[in-house]
Amino acid sequence: MLNYLWAAMIAVGIIYAVFTGNLEAITNAALDSAGEGISLCITTAGVMALWMGLMEIAGQSGLVAKLTKGIGPVLSFLFPRIPREHKAREYIATNMIANVLGLGWACTPAGLKAMEELARLEQERGNPEYQHGVWQKETGGSASPRKQTAASRTASKEMCTFLILNISSLQLIPVNMIAYRSQYGSTHPAAIIAPSILATLVSTIAAVIYCKIKDR
């Protein structure tokens, strides 16, 4: 799916640019964006290292376990099939807590670790796609014989739920937007807090219902 999306974005962009005469802009955009990707990683790296370092302390001191226990009922409701003592629960808990507090920089590292742990959970469940070093036989049609791709993994139900909830973004205080609004002379920059919480609550409820239906 991401393969097609990525290819489509590039193809559509270039073909459209041919017709509108924007090819020169494409050249610049491609080169600039590639550089932007690296500089974004470098700025993220420090924050990532800091946060993961702190999380290690929090993990060893039992703080994470305490927090995870706190939102345990919520996790058990959303992810009924993740074993109670599995590490994935901890990372999902951290990611959700960071999400709610609006700590964008803290969400991603925990989220990425959560995904890795969810993949490990699949491995432990004996899902063949998740075993290391397993090469999948080419199924279907015209695949070239030398195309020997690693097993293409299918998302587990837990991953789907986790990602959908992440994208629906349960956030208490949209700090950035409030700052931008006051910067542009809003008389009441914080006026969006209540509507934002309400909107995000409704969309998250919709997401949970959707996941629960799909999860059955």
Partner 1 sequence: MNVLSHISDIIIPIILFYIVGYGVVSKVKVYEAFLTGAKEGLKVVVDIMPTLVGLLVAVGVLRASGFLDFLAELLASLAEPVGIPAAVLPVMLIKLFSGSAATGLVLDIFRTYGPDTYTGMLVSILMSCTETCFYTMSVYYLAAKVTKTRYTLPGALLSLAVSAVMSVILAGMVS
**What angle (nearest 5°) sits at the alpha carbon of residue 214, between those of residues 6 and 96?**
70
Q: How far is the CB of 79 from partner 1 (least distance, A)?
A: 15
Query: Is residue 79 a contact residue for partner 1 (CB under 8 A)?
Result: no
Residues 86-125 interacting with partner 1 (rule: CB under 8 A): 101-103, 108-109, 111-113, 115-116, 118-119
* CA–CA distance, 21 with 14 (Å, rounded to integer): 10
**Contact (Cβ atoms closer than 8 angstroms) between residue 114 and residue 92:** yes
Query: Is residue 139 a contact residue for partner 1 (CB under 8 A)?
Result: no
Choice between 71 and 155, CB closer to partner 1 = 155
Token code pair at residue 174: 């949209």
Query: Is residue 200 a contact residue for partner 1 (CB under 8 A)?
Result: yes
Q: How far is the CB of 124 from partner 1 (least distance, A)?
A: 14
* Residues recorded for the chain: 216
Q: Is 82 helix (H, G, I), strand (E, B) or coil?
A: coil
Binding mask 56-75 for partner 1 (x = CB under 8 A): xxxxxxxx------------
Query: Is residue 2 a contact residue for partner 1 (CB under 8 A)?
Result: yes
Which residue in 166, 193, 197 sits closest to 177, CA to CA?
193
Residues 31-50 interacting with partner 1 (rule: CB under 8 A): 32-34, 36-38, 40-41, 44-45, 48-50
Query: Is residue 127 a contact residue for partner 1 (CB under 8 A)?
Result: no
Contact region for partner 1 (CB under 8 A) — 16-24, 70-78, 79-87, 140-148?
16-24
Q: Phi first, then psi: give them for residue 120, nearest 5 degrees.
A: -65, -40
Residues 142-181 interacting with partner 1 (rule: CB under 8 A): 150, 152-155, 159-160, 162-164, 166-169, 171, 173-181
Which residue in 91, 81, 30, 23 sits closest to 56, CA to CA?
91
Report the greatest alpha carbon distance in the chain: 65
